[in-house]
Chains A and B, each alone.
Chain A
Amino acid sequence: MSTYESNEQSIASSSNDERDILISRIVDGVATNADWMSFRVLADNDPTIWYELADVQRLHDLVFQCVQNELAATDRVELPGGLIDDRPMRVRMEVASRWGGWVAAAIVLVWFFGQSDAPTILNDHDSATAGILGSSILLDQAKPDQAFDQYLSSGQILGQVVGEMPDRVVIETRPMPDGTIEVLYLRQIIERQVIDHAYREVRDEMGNVFSVPVKLSPNIEKLF
């Protein structure tokens, strides 16, 4: 392509951009008097610009409606209560430095989780309820650990729960002002289900997700 042609294209493209920007400003309601004057001049020479304006206006209305529908749920999302970290960063850094950094915190975590496999000394109330198969404690009265133990016990009896993985996955750790560490972690439970139908999710060339049946046969050792 010659330099002349290239310049021509760039001028045409720039002129098209100006036309599109003008239409865009009008649709967004931010056009100035000068913009309107420019639009009139363009419309005198090429009335099809009115059609373009109408198309872009309709398109914007459609997009607006779609986006409003998609975002309707956002108004329900409030900040979680009680989690605000209102200490200045400097104070938190001082607290962190007392622990000698994240390496020290990690060691403490290993110790913390290591203890979970060791025998736990329960108080009278705990020993009477937690971890006992068939415990008759009501779930709405149970402490989280007690309810969880009951879930594991009854799940294992019914064959729905295989067990809990020994490792817990740390998501986040944070030193607290009183010298303790807040730890967020995942507990991993293995559950079991017997199924007679299975489906695999696949994508077609347009990116649409749909499910296709997986043929189940006793000869198949692994499904995936």
Chain B
Amino acid sequence: MDEQSLSESVIQAAIAGDRGALDQLWRQSRRWVGAILLAHKPREADIEDLLQVVAMQVCRKISMVHEPKAFKSWLRTVAINVAREEGRKVNRCKRSMIGLTGMVRIRQNQKDLESGDAIMTDWDESQCVFQAVMSLPLGYREPVLLRCMRSMSYQQIGEVLDLPVTTIETRLARGRKMLKEILAHQDSEHKNLLCSKM
């Protein structure tokens, strides 16, 4: 059986309280749930922690899913809510707290910033690509991230996002085009920076 194709009977069994079925369902879903969290979480949040919260919610509330077909979109909603709640917490903390972390790292960062080297030393291709993906509009970011689950077909992405396959195809194509443009823009800015420092 395809790893991502969750048979309705497994979902039904999980909803009815079958622990084995629920474990199976979770193992098949956790990667794409991680991708959804990645798309929605605040930058500072740890994906493993958030996924753990989603896992708890799944255990507690799976019985509220009325029909197996609604499971994927329900699970996506749970993940989005967890990520947004984390976002609210992060915002509250930022408003009221002083960061006391990482003296050495901070000093080093300050030194780098003063010398203007920070941008150059941090120029890492994969980091840039990831930042570019995260700067895509949400409607494009989610399908691009979900498509990186190797075995997830357009159809399955559509089931998670509750969108028709044609929309998924269009968003993937446009998302990738936007990504190319963002990276090209970043690249030219980086080259300009290098030139100005010479």
Chain A interfacial positions (CB closer than 8 Å to B):
17, 20-21, 23-25, 27-28, 30, 55-56, 59-60, 62-71, 73-80, 83-89, 92, 174, 195, 197-201, 207, 209-211, 213-214, 223-224
Contacts and interface: CB of A to CB of B under 8 A. Distances in A.
B33 interface: yes
A141 B57 CA distance: 32
Contact of B63 (A17, A27, A73, A88): A88
15 contacts: A17-B174, A24-B173, A25-B169, A30-B154, A74-B48, A79-B22, A84-B19, A84-B22, A85-B59, A86-B63, A92-B63, A201-B94, A201-B97, A201-B99, A223-B98
B38 A67 contact: yes
A25 B147 CA distance: 12
B111 to A, nearest CB: 12
Contact of B126 (A69, A80, A214): A69
Nearest to B172: A24
A64 B148 contact: yes
Q: Interface size bucket, B side?
A: 35 or more
A64 B19 CA distance: 32
A115 B147 CA distance: 54
Given A80-B56, A195-B100, A75 B30 contact: yes
Contacts of B145: 67
B26 interface: yes
B74 to A, nearest CB: 14
Given A85-B63, A87-B17, A198-B98, A20 B148 contact: no
B130 A83 contact: no
B60 to A, nearest CB: 6
A221 B58 CA distance: 47
Q: Which of B60, B125, B150, B173 has the most CB of A within 10 A?
A: B173
Interface in B180-198: 180, 183
A210 B172 CA distance: 33
Q: Is the interface of B mostly helix, strand, loop or mixed?
A: helix
Contacts of A210: 106, 109, 113
A17 B170 contact: yes
Interface in B10-27: 16-19, 22-23, 26
B119 to A, nearest CB: 10
Contacts of B100: 195, 197-199
B121 interface: no
Nearest to A22: B173
Contacts of B58: 79
Given A69-B126, A209-B43, A224 B98 contact: yes
A201 B130 CA distance: 22
Contacts of B30: 74-75, 77
Nearest to A64: B148
A125 to B, nearest CB: 33
A21 B154 CA distance: 12
Interface string B24-52: 00100011011100100001100110011
Contact of A59 (B17, B96, B180): B180
